[in-house]
Structure formats: structure tokens, C-alpha cells
Structure 1
Amino acid sequence: MDRQSAYQEIDANGGEAYAKFFAAQNPEAPLTPFCHRYLFEKEQARANDERGFALKSLAQMESSSHVAQVAASASRDAANAAHTSATAARRSAFWTMIAAIASALGVAVNAALNLGWLDWARHLAR
């Protein structure tokens, strides 16, 4: 009996359940070593599938972790950009205030000139 025909007989009669039963009931039969080998290979295949699933799951977790790190980095960069923008806005607001004060002084001096108040003040100063 060769391996291929033994495995075909085991599969035809119920697979693993048959192999377990046959090996337990007929320890001296020529098919028994093939039954043990068949059961061993099936167990190895299951273990490989579980390992493959575990490795795939681990890879997905690592990928998710990397995505989270990238998102955190992008968030940190956005916060830094917002801080820089706020600082520039404060600086701009300060200089806008200075310009508004200078403009208001210019308007006041211009109004004083137009109303003749400076001539009157010059006349009082003499």
C-alpha cells in the first residue's frame, strides 16, 4: 500500500475520524502507520493555518499602529502650524493697532489743520 492510496481510502471513509478509529482498533494493520501520518499532517496543516492567521493578525496590528503614529504625527504638525499661525496673527494685530493709532493721529492733525486749531494754538503761543 502506498501513501496516496492509503490517504484516498482514509478520505473516502471519513477522514480524521476514520483514521483515529482505525488506528485505535487495528494497531497492526498496514494502514495504521498511514493513519498516524495522516493525522499528524492534518494537525500540522491546522497549526500552520493558525500561525498564518496569527502572523496576519500581527501584521494588521502593526499596520494599524503605524497608521496611528502617522496620524499622531500629522496632528502634532497641524498643532505646530496652528501655533505658528496664531503667533503671526498676534504680531499682525499688534502692528495693525500701531498703524490704526498712527492713522488716527494723522486724522486728528489733519482735522486740526483744516479747522484752524493749529493756527490758533500758534497764535496763543506767541
Structure 2
Amino acid sequence: MDKETAYKEIDDNGGESYARFFAAQNPDHPLTPFCHRYLFDRDQEARTARSHEERGFALKSLAQMESSSHVAQIAASASRDAANAAHTSATAARRSAFWTMIAAIASALGVAVNAALNLGWLEWARHLVR
């Protein structure tokens, strides 16, 4: 009996379950070594398939990690840009507040001088100085 004929007989009768049962029930039959070899070959094929699946999963996982890393870098860059914009805005606000304070002081001085003129205090002060 050759390998192809034995494997065909095993496949025709139910595959792995048949090979296991036949080998256990007929240890001295000429088909039994082929049954063991058939089971070994199917196990190797299954392991190879799992290995390819695991490798594919690992590659997909690595690609997702790289994508996540890229997204995190973009988010960090956007955050840095936002922080720089906030700093620039704060600096401009500080400058604006300073000049607003200067304008308020000048306005208050103007109001005080105007009130002094209207109340005649400057005339009175000029009279005292003479």
C-alpha cells in the first residue's frame, strides 16, 4: 500500500477521527502506520496554519501600534501648537492690559484736571501761589 492510496482511504472514511479509531483498534494492520503518519501530517498542517495566523495577527497588531503611535505624535504636535498659541495669546493679553491700564490712568488724570478746572480749584491754587 502506498501513501496516496492510504491517505485517500482515510479521507474517504472520515479523516482524522477514522485514522485515530482505526489505529487504536488495529495496531498490526498495514494501514495503521499510515494512520499515524496521516495524523502527524494533519497536526503539522494545523500548526503551520496557526503559525501563519499568529504571524498575521502579530503584523496586524504591529501596524495598529504604529498607527496609534503616529496618531499620538500628531496629537502631541497639535497640543504643542495649541500651547504655543495660548502663550502668544497670553502675552498679547498682558500687553493689552498694560496699555489699557495706562489709558485708564491718563483718563483718570484728565477727569481730575477737568474736575479741578470746573470746580475752580486751579484758580484757587493760582491765587495761593501769588
- What corresponds to 2:116 in structure 1? 112
Q: 1:4 to 1:56 in 2, by over 3 A?
A: farther
Identity between Structure 1 and Structure 2 (%):
66
SS at match of 1:68: helix
Q: Distance in 1 between matches of 2:117 and 2:6?
A: 116
Q: 1:42 to 1:49 in 2, by over 3 A?
A: same
**Between 34-43 and 6-15, the greater mean CA deviation after superposition:** 6-15
Structure 1 segment 74-85 matched on structure 2, within 5 A: 74-85=78-89
Structure 1 segment 59-98 matched on structure 2, within 5 A: 59-98=63-102
Q: 1:112 to 1:5 in 2, by over 3 A?
A: same
TM-score, normalised to structure 2, is 0.71
CA contact (8 A) 1:6 1:34 kept: no
Q: 1:6 to 1:119 in 2, by over 3 A?
A: farther
Structure 1: gaps spanning 5 or more residues: none
Please list the CA deviations of residues 27-61 of structure 1 after superposition, one character each: whole Å capped at 9, or x if unmatched.
4x4x6665554333222111101101111111121
Shift of residue 96, structure 1, vs aligned partner: 0.6
- What corresponds to 1:101 in structure 2? 105
Q: 1:120 to 1:6 in 2, by over 3 A?
A: farther
CA contact (8 A) 1:112 1:118 kept: yes
Q: 1:119 to 1:110 in 2, by over 3 A?
A: same
Structure 2: gaps spanning 5 or more residues: none
Provide runs of 4+ in structure 1 moved above 6 Å. none
Amino acid at match of 1:77: D
**What is the number of residues matched between the two proteins?**
119
